[in-house]
Structures are given as C-alpha cells and as structure tokens.
Structure 1
Amino acid sequence: MAEAPLPAIRSLPSWILGRAAARGRALVAEALAAQDMKMWHHVVLSAVRDLAPVAQADLGRGIGLDPKDLVGVLNDLQAAGLVVRAPDPRDRRKNAVSLTDEGARLLTRCEEAAREANDALLAPLSAAERDQFMALLTRISGTEGV
C-alpha cells in the first residue's frame, strides 16, 4: 500500500489541529442539526443569553459576525420565536435583543448536544489527558485568561 501523500504537510501541528477542528465542527454541527439549529444561530443565542439585552451592533462586534449576516440570523431566530428585538432601554434608536423562554430552553438543549459532541471528539483521551489537552490548546490559541 502506498504512503499517504503530503507526509511533510500532514506532520505539521497546524495541519493536525485543522483536521481535529474540522472533525469537532462537524460533530457539533450534526448535534445542533438534530435540534434544528445551525452553528451561527447557536453562537448568537448563546451570546444573547450572556449579554441581553444587547444592541444588535454590540452583539455582532462581540461575536465577530458581519452585520448583514447577523441580521439574517436574528431574523431566523425571531421568526422561530427564540429571540425578541425591542428598542434598547439605553438608546431607543437602537434595537436590543433578548432570548424568549423558548429560546432559553432550546439553548439549553443545544449546549448539551454540543457538550456531547465534544465528548465524542475527545473520547480517545483519558480525563487527565483531556485536561492537559485543553490547557495546551488554551496556551497555544492565545485565549489564556480570556
């Protein structure tokens, strides 16, 4: 049997991390799809829960989503009864976004599904290895202390 192509590339940590990240995203996306949820919709729901009531512009900046894309996601979430947009109490010229009770319930289910998907991703590791892996990933990702 022939050796896999690109051995120099495939041995790079960045390549391996990218493959692991792609597998993790796929597992989470599949788990969220079972809840009729997409990845960015889940991110927005989570951010709204953490920041609400939050102005749309602040929400978009906080999660790094282009304003046009954010409007589309919020339209979907509002149409599904998961968020509400109302005048911002701090600045009535802006819209503030908050979760509905149904949005909060769905977010809880999505968070559990995402945790289970991540558990599946890390299943080959022992508990101690998972802790070490997460500590190392945090150090190299530049998110330590964030």
Structure 2
Amino acid sequence: MNIPEGRPPERLRALPSRLTNHAALTANRIVDQAFAQAQVRRYHYALLAALEEYGPASQAALGRRTGIDRSDMVATVNDLAGRALVERAPDPEDRRRNIVTITAEGRRRLAELDRLLARAQDEFLAPLPPADRERLVDLLTRLADHHGAPSGRRSPEPG
C-alpha cells in the first residue's frame, strides 16, 4: 500500500471538528503574522474595533465585548494610550472607573489594520471562490451563533 507520508487516517480527515481546528490554527497564524508586521496584536485590533463600533466604554465593558481578560485589558489600554490611539479618563459618574475613547489617530490606525486584516483573510481563503467564501462565513456564523460563546475566557477577535 502506497500511503503519502504525513497523511492522517481518513477517519481523522473527515472530522469537522478536526478540520475546523486545523483551519483556525492556519487562520490565526496568518492573522498574527499580518498584525506582527504592523506591530500590533489581536487585543489591539479588538479593542479599537469595539471602541469604533460602540463608542467610549469602561474597561470592564470592553473586556466583556472583546473577551479580553481584566489584567490583559489594563496592559492593552496602557499600550494603546501610549501610542495615542486611545484616551483614558475617569468616568464622571464613578471616579473609580475609567472610560476609554478611541482617538482620531486610533481610527486612522484601525482603518489601516482593517486593510491588513482583509489581505490576511484573502490569503487564508485563497483556494475558495467568492461564493464558497460567503457560504463558509454563513456556515461558521450559524455554528457560532448556535453554540454561543464558550463560558469563561474567550479568544480575542479577530480569528
């Protein structure tokens, strides 16, 4: 029997969970490499995207929206504030809480990161024609919506 080296057994090759995991690992690698070129991480993008879409928010609210843990949130906000991409100010209603706001520079940087991420998505989906890409996104969205977010820690977006 002439079996290609490194080929897993057919019963493994046909498992949707295994295929999804393999695809996710590949997608994450491609996205991480793209973000590394821009000297950002997923947390940076997720935080900027949440602020741009939903407006100013407390660090706790941002953590819930993005899946970023509290300790990682502080470091991420500090990093983005140091780059002048976000501003942090005490909440006038509760001085113990900070409100984070995206800056004009943060919006400009987010637009650059959107373009970078779009290229990474194209690289990941390269073997699929546009109709298959749309179908894949539809199927993955339905699976994610059906199963909901896992309890506890989530991976930060994007994937």
TM-score (norm 2): 0.81
The correspondence for 1:30, drawn from 26, 30, 33, is: 33
SS in 2 for 1:47: helix
The correspondence for 1:52, drawn from 51, 55, 59, is: 55
Q: 1:81 maps to which residue?
A: 84
Structure with the greater relative contact order (CA < 8 A, sep ≥ 6): 1 or 2? 2
Q: How far 1:6 moved relative to its partner?
A: 4.9
SS in 1 for 2:88: strand
The reply to whether residue 103 of structure 1 matches residue 106 of structure 2 is yes
**Counterpart residue type for residue 110 of structure 2:** L
Q: How far 1:8 moved relative to its partner?
A: 2.9
Map Cα deviations across residues 82-107 of structure 1 (whole Å, 9 max, x no partner): 11101224444321001112111111
Change (3 A) 1:48 1:143: farther
The correspondence for 2:124, drawn from 118, 121, 146, is: 121
The reply to whether residue 71 of structure 1 matches residue 99 of structure 2 is no
C-alpha separation between the residues in 2 aligned to 1:6 and 1:95? 53
Count of matched residue positions in the alignment of Structure 1 and Structure 2: 144
C-alpha separation between the residues in 2 aligned to 1:102 and 1:143? 37
- What is the aligned-residue RMSD (CA, Å)? 1.9
SS in 2 for 1:71: helix
SS in 1 for 2:62: helix
**Counterpart residue type for residue 33 of structure 1:** A
**Counterpart residue type for residue 72 of structure 2:** D
Q: 1:10 maps to which residue?
A: 13
Map Cα deviations across residues 114-137 of structure 1 (whole Å, 9 max, x no partner): 111101111111111111111111
C-alpha separation between the residues in 2 aligned to 1:88 and 1:80? 21
C-alpha separation between the residues in 2 aligned to 1:94 and 1:125? 46
C-alpha separation between the residues in 2 aligned to 1:38 and 1:93? 28
C-alpha separation between the residues in 2 aligned to 1:133 and 1:114? 18
Map Cα deviations across residues 40-85 of structure 1 (whole Å, 9 max, x no partner): 1111111122222101111111112211110011111111111110
C-alpha separation between the residues in 1 aligned to 2:104 and 2:26? 32
Q: 2:152 maps to which residue?
A: none
The correspondence for 1:136, drawn from 139, 142, 156, is: 139
Q: Give the gaps of 5 or more residues in structure 1.
A: none
Between the aligned residues of both structures, percent identity stands at 38
